[in-house]
Amino acid sequence: MKEYTFHYGHGTKTFALDEKRVLGEIEMPETPVMENVEQGVLDAINHPIGCKPLAELVKPGDTVTFVCNDPTRVANSFAFMPVLVDELNKLGVPDENMQIVFSLGTHRLMTREEMAEGVGAAVAGRLKMYNSDCNVAEDFEYFGTTGRFTPVLINKRICHSDHVILTGTIVHHYFSGYGGGRKAVLPGCAAMETVRHNHSFMMDPRSGLGKTTGNPVYEDQMEGVRLWADAMQKRGCNVFLFNAILDAEHRFLRMFAGDYVAAHHEACKFVDAVYGVKIRQKADVVIVSCGGYPKDINLYQGTKTHMNVEKAVKDGGIAIILLECPDIVEPKVFTDWLLKDDLKKMEQEVRDNFYMAAFVAYKSRCIIDTHTVYLVTRKENFDFVRRTGQIPAASLEEAWEMARARLEEEGKKDYTITIMGHAPVTLPVLEEEGK
């Protein structure tokens, strides 16, 4: 027997398994961790991809807007933001000429405490900070319409500075290809109308993890952000990208800076090399953690785990997923949709009146309804979990006993197991597909 440790909330859970049945552990390959974060930031902005160094673009007295992630996307902004702000000070940009806009997309508004936690208390005490609230129509400026008829409405606060620095992190994204880059603007700082129309293309089978060419979601986002960026250039505004790649333990691996298209393109190559993990075959059972808090703060964030698990488990197989979910019913619009159990009707409703949370709920139900999913979570979540078609368990041991009983019922004596310790950031790729 071998012990396996899984992240759960702010802690861990350990469980012993017969390692002879384990096909393997899907983890990110060993990649050197950045030892000096400050130097990493400086190297990136002084040797950017596709544009001049920041020091050659910024003039004394310029104004700068930073676009930063919300808490649902781990970027460790608190580590690099002080370095960026201090460097801009050295270039003659005073604190009062800088501001931060948090790219919430359609997520809930951040509190002042969450903002400070995100960018660090020191930076939060020096710069003005704002939420991008997709529901306040007057906060947005119109920049045209994409070829797919998406109205490009972008938050005015990122439209009137000498420089806009898009920050964040990059991982595979389950329908728009990759995170980071243009997503800081669309959907991050876009109006609800813009986000809904763009995300409606998720129903297209060409959208998906790691897909860019032919992916209508990605291509529409790129076109929309290009309309905005071209307008910014005409206004004399420079758009600069700073994206970091983290490992499963949220440590910095590499930083990319420069042109928001060229730098992001190079970063995505690195993401593929680090996060894409080849597997020989799918397993009967997959035991998974999303990596703990904040990735398991609610079921909505947890669905990123479900999406990747599907690529490692056999059709009709078993998934044991650890999600603490202290806010399991948030956002309510998602959980209301998740409780629907008529998939055909659900699909039609999503197509007729697209809403991001509805789509994610629909995709989640597709996975839940075609697999047996045991959810290790808080006991107070049990009733709700059952209503979503999943089977709740208070511990890994309890979930495993139920899973093993089901395997016996199905007559599977030579069952196989795959372990995924950080499912949202590891993309299983069957070897024949990855050739």
CATH 3.30.200.20 fits 2-27+277-434, yes or no: no
37-246 has the same fold as 2-27+277-434: no
Q: What percent of the chain clears pLDDT 70, i.e. is strictly above it? A: 99
Count other C-beta atoms under 10 Å from residue 432's C-beta: 9
Give the SS3 label for residue 317.
Answer: strand
> pLDDT tens, 36-79?
999 999 999 999 999 999 999 999 999 999 999 998 788 999 99
Q: What is the average per-residue pLDDT within 84-110? A: 97
Q: Is the pLDDT of residue 435 over 60?
A: no
Q: What is the average per-residue pLDDT within 3-19? A: 95
Tokens for 173, please give them: 């994204």
> pLDDT tens, 269-309?
999 899 888 899 999 999 999 999 988 999 998 998 998 99
Q: What secondary structure, in 3-state letters, does 21-37 show? A: HEEEEECCCCCCCCCCH
The phi and psi torsions of 353 (rounded to 5 degrees) equal -145, 80
Provide CB contacts within 8 A for 94, sequence distance 6+.
Answer: none
Q: What is the pLDDT of residue 434?
A: 47
Tokens for 296, please give them: 């398991």
| Span of 18-32, 141-155, 316-330 with lowest mean pLDDT | 18-32
Q: What is the pLDDT of residue 433?
A: 59
Q: What is the average per-residue pLDDT within 364-380? A: 96
Q: What is the pLDDT of residue 209?
A: 82
Judge contact between 154 and 144, C-beta under 8 A.
no
Q: Is the pLDDT of residue 365 over 50?
A: yes
Q: Please give the model's pTM, rounded to 2 decimal places.
A: 0.80
> pLDDT tens, 375-432?
999 999 999 999 999 999 999 999 999 999 999 999 999 999 999 999 988 889 888 6
The phi and psi torsions of 257 (rounded to 5 degrees) equal -140, 160
Length of the chain: 435
Q: Is the pLDDT of residue 259 over 90?
A: yes
Tokens for 214, please give them: 């032919």
Q: What is the pLDDT of residue 139?
A: 98
Predicted confidence band of residue 27 (pLDDT cuts 50, 70, 90) = confident
Tokens for 365, please give them: 């139900």
> pLDDT tens, 195-243?
999 998 988 889 988 889 999 999 999 999 999 999 999 999 999 999 9
Q: What is the pLDDT of residue 285?
A: 98
- Boundaries of every domain in the chain: 2-27+277-434, 37-246
> pLDDT tens, 331-342?
898 999 999 989
Count other C-beta atoms under 10 Å from residue 369's C-beta: 11
Q: What is the average per-residue pLDDT within 253-263? A: 99
Q: What is the average per-residue pLDDT within 22-35? A: 91
Q: What is the pLDDT of residue 76?
A: 95
Residue located via tokens 């500075």: 161
Count other C-beta atoms under 10 Å from residue 44's C-beta: 25
Q: What is the pLDDT of residue 275?
A: 87
> pLDDT tens, 112-167?
999 999 999 999 999 999 999 999 999 999 999 999 999 999 999 999 999 999 99
CATH number of 37-246: 3.40.50.11440
